[in-house]
Amino acid sequence: MKVAIVGGTGMLGRHVSRELRARGHEARALSRSSEEYPVDLTTGEGLEAALGGCDAVVDASNNATSKAATVLVEGTRHLLAAERSAGIGHHVCVSIVGCERVPFGYFKAKADQEREVEGGPVPWSIVRATQFHEYVRALFEQAGRWKVVPKLDAPLQTVAVAEVARAVADVVEGGPLAGRLEIAGPEIIGAGELARIWRRVTGRRALLLPVPLPGKLGQALRSGAATQRQPHITGSTRFEAWLKAEGR
């Protein structure tokens, strides 16, 4: 099977490409920075040429900036139109658990993106994942440079990117679901406790700094809107074990 990975040079895209190739499939990494398959979702430039001959598309594109709606929603329209022209038989959208429940710009853009996929012209599947171990670690490391780590009063359910990539590859091979598959981490744990684990495992000296979560966003996150107690797939690697396996 020939599979185009939009956002193929990003963290998840690289893991999905690696997983598909290990299973004997051809994986094309599409992105703005790709030398072989450069594309621009905001304009649609390069998409039809890059999709030629492919059987399926995985949209692992990501944009958490103020341009999220443009890249994720308008970009999806351009992508689906190009897929229809190229005769693509399966569109796999990677999204976020709870995106319709969290009143925050990026989550809203992901929910809007899902609606574009559901109403689009290409047979589809949506894979929702909880927050990645990798992103949480990156947040702590960035803040740790200033000797502080944010302590949020909200539960999270982080999962390893490699496990999400395997779930995505399974969906690609299984064909269109016309529905959603959700994968979540093996434990629901407070964000503050994750910060303590990171500090203990890495040996970093950083102050745990309480960060308030005001308004409807705070209410949603504190209620567990970004977690899933009954996912279709539960990851096996806890954050602490993952950190230790990564060597930090």
- What are the tens digits of pLDDT across the range 141-196? 999 999 999 999 999 999 999 999 999 999 999 999 999 999 999 999 999 999 99
Q: Which domain covers residue 9, as residue numbers?
A: 2-246
- Residue 210: give its domain's CATH number: 3.40.50.720
Collapse the DSSP code of 168 into the 3-class scheme (helix H, G, I; strand E, B; otherwise coil) and give the result. Answer: helix
Beta pairing class for 180-184 and 90-96? unpaired
pLDDT in tens, 42-63: 999 999 999 999 999 999 998 7
Closest CA relative to residue 163, chosen from 221, 234, 57: 234
Looking at the 3D structure of the chain, how many domains does it have?
A: 1
Closest CA relative to residue 136, chosen from 243, 14, 8: 243
Query: What pLDDT was estimated at residue 83?
Result: 98
Side chain identity at residue 233, one-letter code: I
- Which pTM does this prediction carry? 0.95
